Amino acid sequence: MYLPVELRVAVEEIAEQDGLPLTAVVTRFVAECLGKPPPSYCLPKATLHDQNELPLDKAS
């Protein structure tokens, strides 16, 4: 698929931030533009910062 350079660079930056391949980001954008839910493999990967801390009484 061809994208103009400025769009490809922007999508590559998003893909890197989200930990996803370029095609997954493009698929997510197309689904969102069509008002459909994106496939789960197109959603950003969870990072250590996104994880909730387990309360000490529940930690093993």
Q: What is the pLDDT along the chain (60 residues), one digit of tens a residue?
A: 789 999 999 999 999 999 999 999 999 999 999 999 999 999 998 765 555 666 667 665
pLDDT computed for residue 1 by the predictor: 77
**Among candidates 37, 16, 60, 4, which has minimal Cα distance to 29?**
37
Cβ–Cβ < 8 Å for 25, 43:
no
Phi, psi of 14 (to 5 degrees): -65, -45
